[in-house]
Amino acid sequence: HPANAEERLPALPEPLPVKVAIVGGGPSGLACAHDLALQGIKATIFEASDEAGGVLSLSLPRYRLPREVLDRDINYIRHLGVDIRTSQAVDAARLRVLLSEYDAVYLAIGLTRDKSLRLPGHDAEGVLLGGAFLDGVKRGKPAGMGKSVLVIGGGNVAFDVARSAVRLGAKVEMMCLEAADEMPALPDEVREGREEGIVIHNRRSPQHFEVAGGRVTGVATLAVDRIELDELGRLMPVTVPGSE
């Protein structure tokens, strides 16, 4: 694509007498605004953060998505006539106002909360949450991870964390419930992670964090025999007794 957004703007239809508010300026909100603009519908994005892009801006490592590429695409959407308003959090009261002022409101708030394992010892110093860690890395203020890191999980976000920690000079290991050929991360992520020196322990289920002096010192695990799903589709590992 041309670097200059104006050079690749499509011909836009006549504006329609309709306006839409979009809550959230991440991939979903940006895509919605883009498609509305191509239909001649005025879209305004309300983003709580100080920059648009959502996970692409706040969490996704720059080795996967260079900043200039993201900025180019966001500027392209702005040039389509989309009004992107940052530092604009929307609570219930503000939402009622938007519903009265706009013809429609599209909620694109994403998954902004980290998931915690809630295992014994999870609140010890040194137990970090993936999203917050990646956000700190992007802002140049990574949380105190130490020189030895264990990442629990086998998906793409887990590899984002692990490979970011490697780039910060840490010795990194990973553990996940799945066998090597079952890991949910993209195969290229797994392969490149191994090439970067990350050691992966498959079919291990964390039981509790070991803590000394208020800081995490290890993770107790059991071997995983198989993985079943509960009625909500959540992973339920069946562990092997005596395999601590």
| pLDDT in the model for residue 1 | 47
Greater confidence (88 vs 234) lies with: 88
Sheet containing strand 171-175, edge to edge, reads 148-152, 171-175, 199-201
pLDDT for residue 217 is more than 80: yes
Paired with 25 in beta bridges are: none
**For 24-31, what is the mean pLDDT?**
97
Q: How confident is the model at residue 144 (pLDDT cuts 50, 70, 90)?
A: confident
What would you measure as the largest C-alpha separation in the chain, in angstroms?
70
pLDDT for residue 149 is more than 90: yes
Structure tokens at 29: 């909100």
| pLDDT in the model for residue 4 | 59
**For 220-230, what is the mean pLDDT?**
94
Q: How confident is the model at residue 111 (pLDDT cuts 50, 70, 90)?
A: confident
